[in-house]
Amino acid sequence: MSKGHGRGRACAAALAAAFVLAVPATAVAAPAGGATPAPPAGNVTAAVTAKLLDQAASASDAGLRTARTDDTRVTVTRRDGQTWAFGTAVIVAPHKEGAYPAGWVFVAHRERAGWRVAFDGESGFAGLAQDAPPTVVSPQERDLFTAPRPTYAGGDYRTGMRLPYGVGQSWWFTGGPHGWAGSDSPWSAVDLAGGDQRVLAARGGAAYTMCRGWIRVIHDRGYATDYYHLWNNISVNGAGVGEGAYLGDTGTDVTCGGAASGRHVHFALRQNNAYVPVAGHNLGKWVVMNGGGTYQGYALHGSAQVNVGGSLYNYGSLGLNQGVIDANGGGTVNRRTGPGTGYAIAGSIADGSTVTVSCSANGTTHSGRWGTTSLWNRLTDGTWVTDAYMWTGMAGPINGWC
């Protein structure tokens, strides 16, 4: 992947500000943006509702800033006595083009001053998840919520994800990179349609029903994926799902707001609990690329390019120690007996091939689509290929130094 592409792009701030709200048990949630008064905050639903309204009042999306109490959806899915709770919290968006709901998973703990609520993406979330009893946050979820995680901003674009439909199928690439709400930034989402209409998990993880038509799966490495406009979506509350698990069918559902015409899945990428640019990431062995505006762009599999309106064949997930050969317009790339052009040619490998890297070393310098590098990758058959002609998701070694 990128030896230079995409680095320095600042990740747009998530809608959720990094703070934790404690609502006293005797307080009444104050109206926000003209909202009707919330119920007394002596219960967790009231505390989470008050936090949602506070988030809405400072949202960049003007549609969300008008949210009232009846525009919130708080679902408490697990409790441990009267002191711990877990669930989902959603701000419903207006039913119009370019509007989308905002939603979070939350952990709440009742303390002396009242309920302390943290949404995923806030600094206090991991701490509460770590402290919560296993009846509220399962050990598997705790690992996902608290594990150290790389970031695309640090030059690691590996997702280990497939496209969200069956391997071996081709679906229409109906919308290139765009915001979760359409024109907003970052451009975290793509639209996909066709095939057998069955939307599948791009990678294993813990799945949550945010509202009807909207599933979120939280994966390892800090990633999560959102799937919206689903028909017949599954109902899940942190259930473990494997890669390829059925989530629902493509549809036009806008139960939580927005608009949709024509069956499709609005598929968005998150990392560290905030939407991140999907461009530069690999899905189903395709690298998604931005266009000149929202909903434009293209995808690359090696040198093969598919523009919006074309179809994307799902090759399956790319392993974290794998790469895709990108001959930058050529048909093949030479394999060598060592890390440089001074070593003998040991055959060639076709553009678009998937290879597994055993380790890497520095050698002669070369330039490819993704920049200039002296890095060479040793393949599992013992031959070497320059990293300049391979997309791996990182500018450095993906499986250690030789």
**pTM, 2 dp:** 0.87
What is the rounded CA–CA span in Å between residue 166 and residue 96? 31
pLDDT tens, 369-397?
A: 989 999 999 999 999 999 999 999 999 99
User: Would you place residue 154 in the very low, low, confident or very high pLDDT band (cuts 50, 70, 90)?
Assistant: confident
pLDDT score for 26 = 30
Name the residue among 21, 177, 189 with its Cα closest to residue 110. 21
pLDDT tens, 11-44?
A: 333 333 333 333 333 333 333 333 333 333 359 9
pLDDT score for 326 = 97
**DSSP helix/strand/coil, 116:** strand
pLDDT score for 202 = 98
pLDDT score for 139 = 94
Q: How many CA atoms lie within 13 A of 393 on its CB side?
A: 25
pLDDT tens, 296-354?
A: 999 999 999 999 999 999 999 999 999 999 999 989 999 999 999 999 999 999 999 99
Per mean pLDDT, which range of 23-32, 135-144, 357-366 is the poorest?
23-32
- Residue 216 buriedness (CB in 10 A; 0-12 / 13-18 / 19+): buried
Name the residue among 200, 157, 162 with its Cα closest to residue 284. 162
77 in the Ramachandran plot: left (φ > 0), alpha (ψ -120 to 50) or beta?
A: alpha
Q: For residues 61 and 182, is the Cβ–Cβ distance under 8 A?
A: no
Strand partners, 246: 200
Mean of the per-residue pLDDT values of the chain: 88
pLDDT score for 65 = 81
User: Would you place residue 215 in the very low, low, confident or very high pLDDT band (cuts 50, 70, 90)?
Assistant: very high
What angle, rounded to 10 degrees, do the helices at 139-146 and 123-131 form?
Answer: 150
Structure tokens belonging to residue 137: 């946050």
Structure tokens belonging to residue 51: 């936090």
Name the residue among 204, 233, 249, 255 with its Cα closest to residue 94. 255
User: Would you place residue 2 in the very low, low, confident or very high pLDDT band (cuts 50, 70, 90)?
Assistant: very low
pLDDT tens, 75-100?
A: 999 999 999 999 999 999 888 777 78
What is the rounded CA–CA span in Å between residue 216 and residue 247? 10
Per mean pLDDT, which range of 165-174, 250-259, 316-325, 390-399 is the poorest?
250-259
> In 10 A of CB 20, how many CB atoms?
18
pLDDT score for 184 = 85
Q: Is the pLDDT of residue 283 over 90?
A: yes
Query: Which residues, 6 or more positions from 340, have their beta carbon under 8 angstroms from its beta carbon?
Result: 363, 364, 376, 384
pLDDT mean over 242-256: 95
- DSSP for 328-375, written as a single string: TT-SEEEEESSSSTTSPEEEEEETT-EEEEEEEEEEEEEEETTEEEEE
Name the residue among 1, 3, 6 with its Cα closest to residue 278. 6
pLDDT score for 58 = 78
User: Would you place residue 183 in the very low, low, confident or very high pLDDT band (cuts 50, 70, 90)?
Assistant: confident
